[in-house]
C-alpha cells in the first residue's frame, strides 16, 4: 500500500501502481473529468503515470497555470505533427509552452510559410485533436534517439547533450517527439486552436546559428474561450504602447541612432520628468539622497561586482582607450557605482542607514530579435536606489521600501497585484555568488518582512538575482496580463566584494547589509506598461495636458488666453488650440489625443466669464466658473495622488 498526500493535507491509501487519474476519480468523477495534469513529489507527471511510493500529489485543471502549461505543451506537439504532415521534410526543433500559448521552431528549408497558411495548419491540428490520441511517454537509449533523428542536426545536438538513461519520447497518433513530459491525457481535450503569427528565431537564440521559423499558437478546451481571447487580443492591439506612443508623440526610434535606443520626444520627456519628480518627492520624505554616476566604468569595477562574469559575454563589449590595457564598459548596473559612493567615507553605525537614489541609465545588449518597443531595449533608465544599513535595521528598512512601492502602485492605478519571493535554486549553486550563510539570512529577511506586511505572495525557487534573493511585485493590467513591476533585493554579497564597512558601537568594523530597490524598474518598460494599462488615459496628475482650450472662432482667442493664464496660475497644465478649424474637428482630435478635459470658449462663455467643459469620452459638464473647474481638477488628483 502507498499513501498519497493531497493539497488539502488529507492522505489517501491506495494499492501500488495507482495513477494520478485514479486518485482524481477517488475524489469524484466530476473532478476527474477536469484533471489534465499532475505533479508528484515536485515533478510534473502524466495523469496515467504509475505511482509506486508514498508522496504528495497535486492535480491540475485548466484553471491552474500548471494545467494550462501542460495543455499548451501538448498542443505544441499537435502543431508539430500538423506541420510535419503538411510540409514533409521539414526539420523540427523545440516547442515549449509559453505564458499565453505555445510555439514551435521549425526549419522549413526553402518552403517559407506565411499568414495564408495558418488556416490549413489550424484545420490539420483540429483534425488530429478530434482523434482523441493519448499522449504516452517512453524511454529510449541514446543510440535509438540518434537513429530516429538522422538528418535533423537540431534534435541530434539536443540528444548529444543528454545522458543515456535520461532520454524520453512522447508518442501520440503517428507522431513522436523528444520530450521530458508534462501532457494532457489525450488530444481530444483540445477543442479550439489559433495560429497567431510567425517570426524568425535563431537556433538556441544565437544569431550565429541558422535562422528558423517560429510558429506561435494558442489553444483552448472551449471555442468560447478562444473567442474571448481573440477579442482581448484586439483590445491589446489598440492599447499597444508602440502605437499609442506614436499617436501621443511620446517617443520614437531611429535606425541611425541604433536599435533598442529610444528617443524621447518633448511630450514623452515631460511625462518622464513628472514621474521622476513624483518619486523624488516621496524619496526625499523617506530620507533618500540623490546621487549621479557616469554612464561608463572601468571593466575592473564590474569584475569586482560579479556582473562581468555573469553578463559580460552577452553585454556591450569593453571600450578600449588610447592607454594600453585600459578598458571601460557601458554601465550595465548602477549598484557597483553606489558601493563606491558609500566607500568614499568611513561611516559609523550612527550614520546608517544611507539611502542613495539615482535615475541611472544602463546598457545591455539584447538580441535584436528580442527587442520590443520600450519593454525590451538596449538602453534604459532605472529608478535605482541602494540602502546600506546595519543588520538590526534591515527589517524596518525593507518594510519601508514595501510601503514606497505600494504608494507608487496606488498613485498610478495598479491595484491588482501579488508579491513573488524569488529564492536561489539550491540545485545550481554555481549560478550565484556569496556564502550559503548570507543567502539564508537574506532569504529569511525577505520572507519575514513580506509576511509581516500581510502581502499576498508566492515563492519561486531559482528566480533570485545572482547576488541575492528578491521580492518582485507581479501586477495585472486592465487586460488581465501579468507584469513584473517593482523589485526589492537583499544583498549580503556586494558589501563583501567591495569591502564596505561601518564602525559599530563596539568600535569594531562591521559589514553593512545592502538593499537594492526600484519601484518603477525600468522607466521605459514602466511607461510602456502604464500606457497599455490605461490605454493612454493616464491618471490626471500625470497627463501631459490636463485641459485643452478650444475657441469657437478667432474672436474669442483673447478670452481663451485669459482662461489659460488663470489655469496655469492654479498649476493646471493647459494649452490653447489656435488652429483655424471647426470646433467639431478640434473636439475629435482632442479626443484622439486623450486630453482629459476640453474647454469650449464662445460668446456666451466670454460674456458670463465662464467656460463650457467636456470630459474625455463625451461627458458634458456644462458651463461652470473657472474656479469650479480648478476644484474639479484638484479633487480628482487628490483621489489618486496622496501624500507619502
Active site residues: 335, 364, 382, 384, 386, 470, 516
- Asked whether the beta carbons of 534 and 413 are under 8 A apart, the reply is yes
DSSP 384-448: EEEEEE-GGGHHHHHHHHHHHHHHHHHHTT---EEEEEEE--TT-GGG--S-HHHHHHHHHHHHH
Tell me whether residue 481 is exposed, middle or buried, using C-beta atoms within 10 angstroms of its C-beta: 0 to 12, 13 to 18, 19 or more: middle
**Beta bridge pairs of residue 114:** none
Helix (H, G, I), strand (E, B) or coil at 421: strand
Contact 220, 226 (CB under 8 A): yes
Burial class of residue 595 (count of CB atoms within 10 Å of its CB; 0-12, 13-18, 19+)? buried
Pairing of strands 513-518, 379-389: antiparallel
Task: Collect all residues with Cβ–Cβ distance below 8 Å to 214 and sequence separation of at least 6.
Answer: 103, 104, 105, 106, 198, 199, 200, 201
Whether the ω angle into residue 353 lies within 30 degrees of 0, i.e. cis, is yes
User: Residues annotated in the binding site, as ranges?
Assistant: 335, 386, 516
Phi first, then psi: give them for residue 519, nearest 5 degrees.
-60, -40
What distance in Å separates the CA atoms of residue 500 and residue 496, rounded to the nearest whole number? 6
CB atoms near residue 164 (< 10 Å): 12
Edge-to-edge strand list for the sheet holding 457-461: 289-290, 354-363, 379-389, 513-518, 482-491, 470-476, 417-423, 457-461
* Rounded distance between C-alpha atoms, residue 604 and residue 621, angstroms: 16
Q: Element (H or E) spanning 386, and its range?
A: strand 379-389
Report the binding-site residues for Zn(2+).
Answer: 335, 386, 516
CA distance 66 to 62: 8
Amino acid at each position: 500500500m502507498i499513501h498519497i498526500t493531497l493539497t488539502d493535507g488529507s492522505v489517501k491509501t491506495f494499492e501500488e501502481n495507482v495513477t494520478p487519474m485514479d486518485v482524481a476519480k477517488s475524489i469524484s468523477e466530476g473532478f476527474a473529468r477536469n484533471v489534465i495534469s499532475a505533479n508528484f513529489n515536485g515533478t510534473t507527471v502524466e495523469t496515467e503515470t504509475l505511482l509506486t511510493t508514498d508522496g504528495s500529489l497535486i492535480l491540475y485543471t485548466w484553471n491552474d497555470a500548471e494545467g494550462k502549461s501542460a495543455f499548451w505543451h501538448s498542443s505544441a506537439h499537435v502543431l508539430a505533427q500538423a506541420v510535419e504532415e503538411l510540409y514533409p521534410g521539414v526539420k523540427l526543433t523545440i516547442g515549449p509552452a509559453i505564458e499565453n500559448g505555445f510555439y514551435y521552431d521549425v526549419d522549413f528549408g526553402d518552403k517559407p510559410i506565411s499568414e495564408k497558411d495558418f488556416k490549413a495548419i489550424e484545420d490539420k491540428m483540429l483534425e488530429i485533436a478530434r482523434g482523441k490520441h493519448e499522449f504516452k511517454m517512453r524511454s529510449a537509449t541514446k543510440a535509438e534517439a540518434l537513429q530516429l533523428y538522422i538528418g535533423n542536426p537540431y534534435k541530434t545536438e539536443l540528444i548529444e547533450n543528454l545522458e543515456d538513461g535520461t532520454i524520453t519520447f512522447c508518442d501520440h497518433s503517428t507522431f513522436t517527439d523528444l520530450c521530458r513530459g508534462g501532457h494532457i491525457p489525450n488530444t481530444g481535450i483540445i477543442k479550439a486552436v489559433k495560429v497567431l503569427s510567425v517570426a524568425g528565431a535563431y537556433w538556441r537564440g544565437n544569431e550565429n546559428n541558422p535562422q528558423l521559423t517560429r510558429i506561435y499558437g494558442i489553444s483552448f478546451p472551449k471555442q468560447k474561450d478562444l473567442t474571448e481571447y481573440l477579442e482581448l487580443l484586439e483590445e491589446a492591439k489598440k492599447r499597444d504602447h508602440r502605437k499609442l506612443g506614436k499617436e501621443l508623440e511620446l517617443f520614437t526610434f531611429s535606425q541611425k541612432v541604433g536599435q533598442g535606443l529610444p528617443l524621447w520626444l518633448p511630450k514623452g520627456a515631460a511625462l518622464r520628468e513628472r514621474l521622476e519628480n513624483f518619486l523624488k518627492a516621496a524619496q526625499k520624505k523617506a530620507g533618500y539622497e540623490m546621487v549621479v554616476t557616469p554612464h561608463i566604468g572601468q571593466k575592473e569595477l564590474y569584475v569586482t561586482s560579479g556582473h562581468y562574469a555573469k553578463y559580460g559575454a552577452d553585454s556591450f563589449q569593453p571600450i578600449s582607450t588610447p592607454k594600453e590595457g585600459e578598458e571601460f564598459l557601458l554601465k550595465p548596473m548602477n549598484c557597483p557605482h553606489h558601493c563606491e559612493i558609500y566607500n568614499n567615507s568611513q561611516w559609523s553605525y550612527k550614520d546608517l542607514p544611507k539611502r542613495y537614489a539615482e535615475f541611472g541609465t544602463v546598457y545591455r545588449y539584447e538580441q535584436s530579435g528580442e527587442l520590443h518597443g520600450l519593454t525590451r531595449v538596449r538602453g534604459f533608465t532605472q529608478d535605482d536606489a541602494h540602502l546600506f544599513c546595519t543588520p538590526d535595521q534591515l527589517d524596518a528598512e525593507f518594510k519601508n521600501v514595501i510601503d514606497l512601492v505600494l504608494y507608487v502602485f496606488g498613485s498610478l492605478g495598479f491595484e491588482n497585484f501579488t508579491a513573488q519571493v524569488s529564492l536561489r535554486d539550491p540545485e545550481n549553486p554555481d549560478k550565484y555568488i556569496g556564502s550559503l550563510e548570507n543567502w539564508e539570512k537574506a532569504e529569511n529577511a525577505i520572507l519575514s518582512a513580506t509576511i509581516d506586511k500581510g502581502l499576498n505572495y508566492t515563492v519561486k525557487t531559482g528566480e533570485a538575482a545572482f547576488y541575492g534573493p528578491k521580492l518582485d511585485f507581479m501586477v495585472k493590467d486592465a487586460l488581465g496580463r501579468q507584469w513584473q513591476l517593482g523589485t526589492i533585493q537583499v544583498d549580503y554579497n556586494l558589501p563583501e566584494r567591495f569591502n564596505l564597512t561601518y564602525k559599530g558601537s563596539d568600535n569594531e568594523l562591521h559589514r553593512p547589509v545592502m538593499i537594492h530597490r526600484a519601484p518603477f524598474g525600468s522607466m521605459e518598460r514602466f511607461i510602456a506598461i502604464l500606457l497599455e494599462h490605461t490605454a493612454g488615459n493616464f491618471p490626471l496628475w500625470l497627463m501631459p495636458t490636463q485641459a485643452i482650450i478650444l475657441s469657437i472662432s478667432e474672436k474669442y482667442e483673447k478670452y481663451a488666453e485669459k482662461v489659460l493664464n488663470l489655469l496655469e496660475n492654479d498649476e493646471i497644465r493647459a494649452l490653447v488650440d489656435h488652429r483655424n478649424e471647426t470646433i467639431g474637428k478640434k473636439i475629435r482630435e482632442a479626443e484622439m489625443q486623450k486630453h482629459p478635459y476640453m474647454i469650449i470658449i464662445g460668446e456666451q462663455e466670454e460674456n458670463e466669464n465662464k467656460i463650457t467643459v467636456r470630459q474625455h469620452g463625451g461627458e458634458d459638464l456644462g458651463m461652470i466658473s473657472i474656479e469650479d473647474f480648478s476644484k474639479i481638477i484638484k479633487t480628482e488628483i487628490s483621489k489618486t495622488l496622496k501624500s507619502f
